[in-house]
Structure 1
Amino acid sequence: MKLKKNQENLKQIASLIKYAFGKNNNLLHDNNFMSRYDHSNGYGFFNDDKLTSYIMVNKFKSEVFGHHVPMAGIGYVASYPEYRGQGHISKLMKEILNDLHDEGIPFTNLAPFSESFYRHYGFSNSIYQKEYRFSCGALRPFKLPRTGHVIRGKWDDLMVQNGVIQLYERQLHTDDERNTVIREAWWWNRMDTYYHNRNIAVYIDSNGRPISYLIYRIQGDVFLADELYSITAKGLVALLGFMGSHAGAIKEFRMTLPEHSLIGELFPEQNQLKISLHPYMMSRIVDFAKMITYMKPLQEGTFNLEVISDDQCPWNIGVWQMTNKDGKVSCKQIEDGLVDFSGPITAWTQVLLGRLSMMDAVKLGLITDYRIKKLEFKKGDVSFYDYF
C-alpha cells in the first residue's frame, strides 16, 4: 500500500532501512536520507501493524532526446529477513507500476542488487559505466594548462557551482541524451553531502568560459574521479593535467565515465590503463506507446511493433503502429496488421532505453523481425550518472 507521511510510518521506515542496509546512524537525523524521503512516495507491507517490506519512489524529470520526460527512481527496496520470499515486494512493485501508469510516468530506473531479481519485474540493463584505473605514471604526459586556469573548490563555492551547472545544462540541451536525470537543486545538494569530502575542479579558458569540470574525492592514496565532463579535448587534457599534479601523494587513479567515453585515446601509453565496463542501472518501460513517441527512429514510415509479453504492465501487450513523419513520432494500438518487429517488454527496453541496436537485438534473438523492414533508433548517450 502507498504509505501516508506521518511520524509513525517514518520511524518504521527508518528502522527497516537501517536494519536492511546496515546503517549505523539515526536516519531521522540524517539530512541525506531525509531530503530523499521528503521528495518521495513510499510503499509498504504491514504484518500486525509492523512494517515488514518497503520501497521508496522518487520522481524526476529525465532528458530523452530533447524531451523532459517524467521518470521514477526506485530505491531502498527492503524486507526484514524473516518476511522475505512471501511475495510482499512483488505486490508492492505491481502497485507502484500501476500507480506510475495512472500518473503518466512512462518509465523507471533503479540500481539493482540482483539483476535476475528485477528481471522478474520487467527491468533490463540499460546504463553502463566505463572505469579507468592507472598509476601516476600514465599522467606524466599531461600538464596543467598554460592558457586559462583551473579553479578548485567545494559545491558551496558559487563560482565553481555555476561553472558545473553551465556545462551540465549545455549537454542536456544537445538532444543527444537518452536517459539522463535532470538534476534539481535539492538533488545536486544531496549528491554533494552524500559523497563525503568531494572536491570540484573547473577549467576556465582564456576568455573566461567554463570548458570542463571534474568532481572527485581523495581516499587515502586513491584519487576517485566521480564525474568528468568537457566540451573540448583541451578541457579534458587540462583536467588530466590537474589530476597529474597530485601524483606525489596518489598511488592509484580511478575514473568512472560514461560508456561512450574515449578518453583513453588521449593516453600515449594505453597499456598502462586498466579499462573495464560495468552494468550500472536497469530500466523498465511502464508505458510503451508513450515511450515510442520520445524516440528518434532513423527511418521515416510506418512500422508495426508488437509487445508479446509484459506480466506487470499488461496494457503494453499488443501491436502498436509507430509512424515517423517529418521528425514527429506518433503511436497507436491496432487490432489488425502485419507485424514488423516483436519482442517482450524487456527486449524493447534494451532497444529503446539501452545500448542495444535493433539489428543487434534481432541477431541475438531478443527481437523478431517478420518483414525484413529496416528500422533503427538513435542510440544517444548517458553522460551523467545518478544513484537512487
Structure 2
Amino acid sequence: MEIRFARECEKDNIMEIWDYCFNDGPKFTDYYFNNKYKNYNTIVVEEEAEIVSSLQLNQYRIQLNNQIYNTSYVVGVSTLPEARGRGYMKYMMEFMLNELYKKNQLISILMPIDYRLYRKYGYEHCYDQIEYEIDIEDLSGFKSTGSLKRAKLNHIKDMLEIENAYLDNLNGRVIRDEDYYENLFKDVESEEGNIYIHVNGSSDGYIIYFINGESIFVRELYYKNLNALKGMLRFLYNHNTQCKKVNIMSPVDDKIRFILSNPRNVSMKLKPFMMGRIINFKKYLESLNIASNKKSSLVISVKDDYIKENNKIFKINLENNKLSLESGNFEYDVEFNINTISQLAFSYINGREAYLLNELEENKRVIEFLDLIFTKKENYINEYV
C-alpha cells in the first residue's frame, strides 16, 4: 500500500471511484472533474498498482475572525467496495492532516456524511443553516416594485456586490470572486438549476433554485433589502401550478421568518452543515488581532492525536492586541482536545460552553481569557464541493 498525491494520468481512475461511491449523475461529475478536480490536490491509496481510495482538497479562502485564510475543503472521501474495512480512510486522513500542516495551512473544513466518521480526526461541528419548508400558497401575498430576469455571466459583478452586502456580518464565509461565480454558473447548469436576479433600478438580489418534482429547493437567496426578498418570494409563488412546497436554505440570522404571513404553518429546522478543524494551533492564534490591549496569559493543554505539533502544553501570552505562544512542560489551567479548540477557533462556541461540553467545573478567569480571544459569532458557509 502507498499513500500519495495523485498523478495527472490517474484522473479517470479517480473519476471511476467517484462515480461508484456518489450518486451525482454524469453531468455534474463531468462538470466537477473538468472544473474543480486537480490531481495535485488529490490524495490516493494505491494497492497492487491500482487506485482504490481517494480524497480531494479543494482550495478556498475563508474569512474567519476578520482574517483571511487559505483552506482545504475535504471532499470526495471514497473507497472501492473491495478495499473497504482495511483502514485506508484513517491512513489518508492522517497523511492529509500532516500534509496540510507542512503546507502552512492553518484551518480546514469538510461537509460530513456522518459526523462520527470525522470527529475522531479532530473535525468538529462549526456551521449551521436554517432550512425553511413552506407551502407555496403561503408565499402568495408578497409583492415588490422590481422584476426578475434570468442571470447571465455579465451579472457576476452585481452578484458579488449582493453577496458581499448580504453576508457582511457573518463569520467563516468563503471569499468569492468572478472566477468563483463563473464556476457556479457551470455547477448550477450541470444540476439543471436556475439563477435569477432581482432588478429594481439596479440589481439588489439573486436566487439559485432547483425544481425537484413538486418541490423547489432554494440553494441561495441573497438580497440587499426586503423589497428584493419579497420580490423573489413572489417569484417562487409564481410556480404554484408546478410545485407545492418550497425549501429554502439560509443563514441562521436570515430575515425570512420575520415577514411570513403565518409562520406557524412553516417548518424551520436548524441544520448542521459543516465541520471545521484547526491545523496549526500556534500559528492560528498568533495570526489573530485581539480587541483588547490587556496584558495577561493562560496555559492550555491541547490534545491532538494526529498532528503532533499541536499535541502540547502552550503558554498563551496576550500583549498589545496580539498573542504569542510557547510550548513547554507548564502546569496548565485547562485541557481541551482539538475538537473543542476548533469550535472555539471558528467562533462557534464560547469559553463557558467549552467548559460545559467537556463537563469541567467553571473557572471564571480562564473563561474570561478564552472569551477575549474567541468571540462567539454567527457562522455561515454555502459551498458544496
Quick one: which amino acid aligns to residue 157 of structure 2? N
Counterparts of residues 184-203 of structure 1 (less than 5 Å): 184-195=177-188, 196-203=191-198
Unaligned runs of 5+ in 2: none
Task: Name the CA shift for 1:109/1:250 in 2 (closer, same or farther; >3 Å).
Answer: same
How far is the alpha carbon of 1:36 from its aligned partner? Answer: 1.4
Q: Tell me, yes or no, if structure 1 residue 169 matches structure 2 residue 161.
A: no
Show the counterpart of 1:378.
375
Q: Tell me, yes or no, if structure 1 residue 11 matches structure 2 residue 12.
A: yes
Task: Name the CA shift for 1:266/1:42 in 2 (closer, same or farther; >3 Å).
Answer: same
Task: Name the CA shift for 1:154/1:12 in 2 (closer, same or farther; >3 Å).
Answer: same
How far is the alpha carbon of 1:220 from its aligned partner? Answer: 3.1
Is this contact kept in 2: 1:63–1:177, CA < 8 A? no
Show the counterpart of 2:149.
152
Distance in 2, Cα, partners of 1:150 & 1:342: 56
Quick one: which amino acid aligns to residue 19 of structure 1? Y
How far is the alpha carbon of 1:287 from its aligned partner? Answer: 0.7
How far is the alpha carbon of 1:136 from its aligned partner? Answer: 2.2
Q: Tell me, yes or no, if structure 1 residue 275 matches structure 2 residue 256.
A: no
Task: Name the CA shift for 1:101/1:261 in 2 (closer, same or farther; >3 Å).
Answer: same
Distance in 1, Cα, partners of 2:340 & 2:288: 15
Q: 1:358 aligns with which of 346, 351, 359?
A: 351
Show the counterpart of 1:216.
209
Helix, strand or coil: the match of 1:261? Answer: coil
Task: Name the CA shift for 1:20/1:311 in 2 (closer, same or farther; >3 Å).
Answer: same
Quick one: which amino acid aligns to residue 6 of structure 1? E
Distance in 1, Cα, partners of 2:166 & 2:67: 13
Task: Name the CA shift for 1:324/1:164 in 2 (closer, same or farther; >3 Å).
Answer: farther
Task: Name the CA shift for 1:38/1:189 in 2 (closer, same or farther; >3 Å).
Answer: farther
Write the deviation string for residues 128-147 of structure 1: whole angstroms up to 9, x where unpaired.
Answer: 1210011123213311x13x
Aligned residues: 376
Distance in 2, Cα, partners of 1:218 & 1:110: 26
Is this contact kept in 1: 2:172–2:381, CA < 8 A? no
Is this contact kept in 1: 2:41–2:57, CA < 8 A? yes
Distance in 1, Cα, partners of 2:39 & 2:182: 13
Write the deviation string for residues 76-109 of structure 1: whole angstroms up to 9, x where unpaired.
Answer: 1111122122122211211111111111101111
Task: Name the CA shift for 1:5/1:367 in 2 (closer, same or farther; >3 Å).
Answer: farther
How far is the alpha carbon of 1:40 from its aligned partner? Answer: 5.2
Show the counterpart of 2:303.
309
How far is the alpha carbon of 1:188 from its aligned partner? Answer: 2.8
Task: Name the CA shift for 1:307/1:101 in 2 (closer, same or farther; >3 Å).
Answer: same
Counterparts of residues 1-388 of structure 1 (less than 5 Å): 1-7=3-9, 9-22=10-23, 25=26, 30-38=30-38, 41-143=41-143, 145-146=144-145, 149-156=146-153, 158-159=154-155, 161-170=156-165, 174=168, 176-195=169-188, 196-206=191-201, 208=202, 210-295=203-288, 300-325=294-319, 328-335=321-328, 339-353=332-346, 355-365=348-358, 369-370=362-363, 372-373=365-366, 374=368, 375-376=370-371, 377-388=374-385
Once superposed, which parts of structure 1, at least 4 consecutive aligned residues long, lie more than 6 Å away? none
How far is the alpha carbon of 1:239 from its aligned partner? Answer: 2.4
Quick one: which amino acid aligns to residue 356 of structure 1? I
Distance in 2, Cα, partners of 1:52 & 1:171: 42
How far is the alpha carbon of 1:343 from its aligned partner? Answer: 0.8
Helix, strand or coil: the match of 2:4? Answer: coil
TM-score (norm 1): 0.87
Distance in 2, Cα, partners of 1:354 & 1:40: 31
Helix, strand or coil: the match of 1:315? Answer: coil
Distance in 2, Cα, partners of 1:231 & 1:24: 34
